[in-house]
């Protein structure tokens, strides 16, 4: 059975940032170990190497920031949960090294404040909130229409903090090193707010947003480990386990692709039947597709229909309309579930009568189960029917297989399952050309329509900058 919360919880308290230099020192010292053994201490198969590109751009920005000439925000790609570790390596190791090589003296530490999702502490534990706070992080409630405390903190830190700020504009991981999810407009808004706050204070700093792309590669791709993972997924789905056997590279890729495609078809069929029978959702997608469509196009259309059905199953429970993009719908659902589980209207749960507490627990458990539909959709948010077919590299096979592993683990009811490790990886961090927000201020302040257009243009330019750095 999927994991559920069985009791109503108190409201989620805001966790203010309290940067602590000692905690930063310890984390920086332990960083190489954390990158290699983050989730499974007994299995050395994490990040063994980090390559950095255009670090001198950050060196120059830090030099100007520390001289009081600029403010800047680092907007980094967030494909995997390991990205924050890679970002810390970039700032704490690569930036000081390049600065020394160029004879530039930077103040210590070269670090940043950062924003994280408040929900992370729900699955990782309260210790994570304490730890992030001491590293200079502060939370935002994803999906909340107006997180006043979080946004007020972000705005103040950007304009007045002793350190720059880092944000993942995609909002969540998508499991794909070579696909940038649609960016949320929050980063652009923050940039313009910072310009506005500086002008009100008669300050002259220029404001920049710096795109940073993170991409992963396997150092020594292990097709044998991938074969094992696909076999495990086939067994979990009740399919016969296929063997690759001895073959050349082209034939091997073809065999792996057919296995992956068969898994995708089987999972979709199971989910279609599940939603049709138990949630009364019809899936007539195959009758609406042109007969000339390829099997990949059919698969992708079926996937989108299942994702829509899954979100509707949750939206109907929470009384939400099915409007907006998949990501927007996911955020609204997450916020609605938190409202039912973490009861702001019941600040003292212990003061409730047994009956009142029973009803609160009842709705909390129902909400925690219904939101699992959204969690499944989150896993598939960037999946397409052609990602592997277009470029059948080991990395793309591995990424897609691990996404299927996450989905099946969720359905099986495993809580925070440790992903299989398929070998040592290399992270490639590329620092893009800084985008001046100050130069766009005149367009932003013209009117409400002009502000919306400026935010959209900034978001699109940032999206394109991140996409261009993928190689």
Pick 318 or 43 by higher pLDDT.
318
Residues 430 and 406 in one domain: no
Q: b/e for 70-81, b at 16 or more Cβ within 10 A? A: bbbbbbbbbbbe
The rounded mean pLDDT for the chain is 90
pLDDT band at 43 (very low <50, low <70, confident <90, very high): very low
Residues 333 and 431 in one domain: no
Q: Check if the beta carbon of residue 437 is closer than 8 Å to that of residue 157.
A: no
In which domain, by residue range, is 257 found? Answer: 232-412
Strands 137-140 and 165-167, sheet pairing: unpaired
CA atoms lying within 13 Å on the CB side of residue 283? 25
Give me the DSSP letters along 157-209. HHHH-SS-EEE-TT-S--S-TT-PPPPPTHHHHHHHHHHHHHHHTT---EEEE
Is there a domain that residue 374 lies in? yes
Residues 291 and 406 in one domain: yes
pLDDT in tens, 381-395: 777 778 998 999 999
Q: What is the pLDDT of residue 41?
A: 39
Scan for tokens 């792309």, then name that residue: 213
Please state, as a whole number, how many other Cβ atoms lie within 10 Å of the Cβ of residue 144: 17
Is there a domain that residue 250 lies in? yes
Is there a domain that residue 9 lies in? no
Cis peptide upstream of residue 109 (ω within 30 degrees of 0): yes
* DSSP H or E stretch at residue 48: strand 47-53
Closest CA to 106 of 63, 65, 60: 63
Q: What is the pLDDT of residue 147?
A: 76
Pick 144 or 50 by higher pLDDT.
50
Q: What is the pLDDT of residue 418?
A: 78
pLDDT in tens, 222-265: 999 999 999 999 999 999 998 776 555 568 888 899 999 999 99
Is there a domain that residue 379 lies in? yes
Is there a domain that residue 327 lies in? yes
Tokens found for residue 386: 């052609």
Residues 124 and 160 in one domain: yes
DSSP conformation class of 93: I
Is there a domain that residue 248 lies in? yes
Cβ partners under 8 Å of residue 337, min gap 6: 318, 367, 368, 370, 371, 374
Residues 366 and 434 in one domain: no
Is there a domain that residue 16 lies in? no
Pick 145 or 137 by higher pLDDT.
137
According to DSSP, the residues that pair with 74 across neighbouring strands are: 166, 210
Is there a domain that residue 1 lies in? no
**pTM listed for this prediction:** 0.91
Q: What is the pLDDT of residue 414?
A: 80
Task: State the CATH number of the domain containing residue 51.
Answer: 3.40.1130.10
């Amino acid at each position: 059975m999927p994991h559920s919360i069985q009791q109503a919880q108190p409201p989620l308290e805001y966790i203010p940032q309290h940067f602590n230099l000692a905690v930063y020192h310890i984390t920086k010292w332990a960083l190489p170990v954390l990158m290699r053994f983050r989730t499974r201490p007994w299995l050395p198969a994490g990040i063994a190497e980090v390559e950095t590109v255009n670090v001198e751009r950050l060196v120059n920005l830090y030099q100007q920031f520390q001289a009081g000439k600029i403010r800047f925000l680092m907007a980094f790609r967030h494909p995997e949960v390991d990205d924050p570790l890679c970002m810390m390596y970039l700032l704490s190791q690569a930036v000081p090294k390049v600065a020394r090589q160029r004879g530039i003296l930077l103040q210590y530490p070269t670090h940043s404040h950062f924003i994280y999702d408040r929900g992370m502490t729900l699955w990782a534990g309260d210790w994570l909130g304490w730890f992030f706070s001491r590293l200079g992080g502060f939370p935002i409630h994803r999906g909340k229409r107006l997180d006043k405390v979080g946004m007020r903190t972000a705005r103040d830190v950007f304009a007045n903090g002793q350190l720059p700020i880092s944000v993942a504009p995609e909002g969540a991981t998508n499991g794909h090193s070579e696909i940038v999810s649609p960016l949320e407009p929050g980063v652009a808004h923050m940039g313009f707010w910072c310009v506005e706050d500086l002008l009100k204070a008669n300050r002259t700093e220029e404001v920049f947003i710096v795109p940073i792309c993170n991409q992963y590669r396997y150092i020594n791709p292990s097709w044998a480990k991938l074969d094992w993972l696909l076999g495990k997924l086939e067994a979990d789905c009740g399919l016969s386990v296929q063997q690759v056997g001895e073959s050349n590279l082209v034939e091997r890729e073809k065999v792996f692709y057919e296995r992956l495609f068969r898994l995708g078809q089987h999972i979709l069929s199971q989910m279609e039947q599940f939603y049709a029978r138990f949630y009364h959702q019809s899936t007539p997608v195959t009758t609406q597709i042109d007969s000339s469509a390829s099997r990949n196009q059919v698969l992708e259309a079926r996937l989108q229909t299942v994702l829509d059905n899954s979100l509707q199953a949750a939206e109907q429970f929470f009384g939400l309309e099915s409007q907006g993009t998949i990501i927007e719908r996911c955020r609204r659902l997450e916020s609605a579930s938190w409202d039912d589980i973490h009861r702001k209207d019941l600040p003292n749960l212990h003061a409730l009568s047994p009956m009142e507490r029973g009803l609160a627990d009842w709705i909390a458990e129902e909400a925690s189960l219904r939101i699992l539909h959204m969690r499944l959709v989150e896993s598939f948010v960037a999946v397409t029917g052609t990602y592997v077919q277009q470029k059948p590299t080991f990395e793309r096979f591995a990424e897609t297989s691990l996404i299927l592993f996450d989905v099946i683990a969720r359905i099986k009811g495993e809580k925070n399952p440790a992903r299989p490790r398929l070998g040592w990886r290399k992270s490639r961090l590329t620092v893009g050309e800084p985008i001046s927000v100050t130069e766009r201020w005149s367009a932003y302040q013209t009117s409400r329509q002009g502000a919306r257009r400026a935010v959209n243009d900034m978001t699109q330019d940032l999206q394109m900058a991140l996409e261009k750095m993928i190689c």
